[in-house]
Copies of this chain bind each other. A is one copy, B any other.
Amino acid sequence: MTMVDITGKPEVIREATATGTIKLKAETMRLIKEGKVAKGDPLYTAKIAGVLAAKKTSTLIPFCHQLPLTSVKVEVEVLDHSTVQVTSTVRTKAQTGVEMEALVAATISLLTIWDMAKQYEKDAEGQYPSTVIQNIHVVKKVKENIQREISSERKHEKTQDYSS
Measuring CB to CB, which residues of chain A are less than 8 angstroms from any residue of chain B? 1-9, 13, 20, 38-41, 44-45, 47-49, 51-53, 55-56, 58-74, 91-95, 97, 99-100, 103-104, 107-108, 111-112, 114-116, 118, 126-128, 131-138, 140-141, 143, 160-164
B4 and A61: CB pair below 8 A? no
B70 and A68: CB pair below 8 A? no
Instruction: Offer 14 A-B interface pairs, CB within 8 angstroms, sorted by A.
Output: A1-B39, A41-B44, A49-B60, A53-B60, A55-B66, A61-B112, A65-B70, A66-B66, A68-B94, A100-B111, A126-B141, A127-B138, A128-B141, A132-B137
Question: Which among A9, A104, A134, A138 has the greatest number of chain B C-beta atoms within 10 A?
Answer: A138
B107 and A111: CB pair below 8 A? yes
A52 and B62: CB pair below 8 A? yes
Q: How many angstroms between the C-alpha atoms of A162 and B3 in the bound complex? A: 13
Q: How many angstroms between the C-alpha atoms of A62 and B118 in the bound complex? A: 14
Q: Which residues of the partner chain B approach A74 to less than 8 Å between Cβ atoms?
A: 1
Separation in Å of the A144 CB from the closest CB of chain B?
9
Cross-chain contact of A136 among B40, B67, B112, B132 (Cβ < 8 A): B132
B111 and A99: CB pair below 8 A? no
Q: Which residues of the partner chain B approach A20 to less than 8 Å between Cβ atoms?
A: 133
Given contact pairs A6-B164, A44-B44, A127-B138, enumerate 10 new A-B contacts (beta carbons under 8 Å): A2-B73, A7-B70, A8-B162, A9-B162, A40-B63, A49-B61, A51-B62, A65-B70, A107-B111, A128-B138
